[in-house]
Homo-oligomer: A and B are copies of this chain.
Amino acid sequence: MTRLREQVLSLIWQSHRPLGAYDILDSLNADGRKAAPPTVYRTLDFLQRMGLVHRIASLNAFVGCTQPSHHHSGCFLICETCHNVLELPSSSIRNAIEGEARKQGFAPRETVVEVTGLCPACKDDGPTNE
């Protein structure tokens, strides 16, 4: 864990929404570091390999993992209004999906599950607040 990696991880943890790579880049540069895109993407790759960060494919953005203890593909509920993301403990869902895949003779390696919709707060608050 280097200073750069800590810095990026901390940015991701402090935001409760997914961060784009260029958001992170801007924060780093605002913070005095002289970074360019490859720096950020390399760091994100590392954090993903460590299981500390997930990429949200449908948003091109990155979130901290809430169960970094073991490697896993995540399962995410993404609010379209407030943009908060909830990571579900996904093992049962993933098992179901990968079971279905194996039934087709397919050997799963990585599974993306991303549900977009409205979180409890935004669902109840009606269409008033964006």
Partner of A115, one of B80, B108, B115, B117: B108
Least CB separation from A94: chain B residue: B115
Least CB separation from A80: chain B residue: B109
Q: Is the CB of A96 within 8 A of B93?
A: yes
Least CB separation from A88: chain B residue: B100
Q: What sequence of 0s and 1s flags, for each residue 86-130 of chain A, a beta carbon within 8 Å of any chain B beta carbon?
A: 101000110011101100111111111111111110010000000
Interface of A toward B, CB cutoff 8 Å: 57-58, 75, 77, 79-80, 86, 88, 92-93, 96-98, 100-101, 104-120, 123
- Please list 12 pairs of residues, one from A and one from B, whose beta carbons are closer than 8 Å in the complex, sorted by A's number: A77-B104, A88-B100, A96-B96, A101-B117, A105-B119, A106-B115, A106-B118, A107-B117, A109-B116, A109-B118, A111-B115, A112-B114
